[in-house]
Amino acid sequence: METFQSEYWEQRYQEGTTRWDLGQAAPAFVSLLQSELPPGKAAVLGSGRGYDAIAFAQYGFDVIGFDFAPAAIAEATTIAQASGSLAKFLKRNIFDLPTEFPQYFHYVIEHTCFCAINPQQRQAYVQVVREILQPRGELIAIFFTHSRPGGPPFGVSPEEIKQYFETDFEILSLQPITNSVPARQGEEHLGHFRLM
């Protein structure tokens, strides 16, 4: 079954084989939120069980998480409601978002979506981000910068990341993450890009 089909990811949730799921917000996002990032409307792409989206909502962001696995949306909604979070979750294919949300968001939040899609779709992903952001909107992303073969997660080098995004975005920062969870130490970069 192809990894870019929703059925593949739905099956992973049904089976409980969701190794990418940290069961908490990514530590790098929590650190960034504590540094007083100004709130705004934020899209979390491939939001899974919603921990990152819920964290941004706790800091005053108006958050919508998008995933195309029905089980992910259902679980994220349940977790958000149980915690009193205002984060919302919608079942969508991210590549359809520009039609529904053109120039809508101040921020796009990326964690485990870019690494999950077929690498041949990366340029289309950049276009989605560009089209759903407001002018001068920002992408805040955790990228998997491992060099293992195969995937998902499909790795990417910092140089490749810059090549994908630098045409449309100002690279404000792209740095190795120092407070990754142990299993991902040395394999993550935090990117903060602004639409030009």
Q: How confident is the model at residue 1 (pLDDT cuts 50, 70, 90)?
A: very low
| Domain assignment of residue 73, given as a range | 41-190
Length of the chain measured in residues: 196
**The tokens of 159 are what?**
């140089």
Determine, yes or no, domain membership for 11: no
Report pLDDT digits (tens) over 134-161.
999 999 999 999 888 887 889 999 999 9
Q: Could you give the CA distance from residue 62 to residue 41 in angstroms, rounded to a whole number?
A: 5
pLDDT in tens, 161-187: 999 999 999 999 999 999 877 677 778
Looking at the domain assignment, is residue 119 inside a domain? Answer: yes
Strand order in the sheet with 133-144: 88-91, 62-67, 41-45, 105-110, 133-144, 188-195, 169-176
Angstrom distance (rounded) from CA 187 to CA 177: 8
- Tell me: the pLDDT tens digits for 41-82? 999 999 999 999 999 999 999 999 999 999 999 999 999 999
Query: For residue 95, is it within any domain?
Result: yes
The answer to whether residue 30 is domain-embedded is: no
Indicate whether 124 belongs to any domain. yes
In a domain, 35, yes or no: no
In a domain, 144, yes or no: yes
> Could you report the per-residue pLDDT of 89-142, keeping only the tens digit for each?
999 999 999 999 999 999 999 998 999 999 999 999 999 999 999 999 999 999
- Give the CATH number, domain containing residue 128: 3.40.50.150
Angle at the Cα of 88 (from 77 to 125), degrees rounded to 5? 110
Q: How does residue 22 score in pLDDT terms, banded at 50, 70 and 90?
A: low
Q: Please indicate, yes or no, if residue 128 is contained in any of the structural domains.
A: yes
**Number of domains making up the chain:** 1
Q: Name residue 44's beta-bridge partners.
A: 65, 109
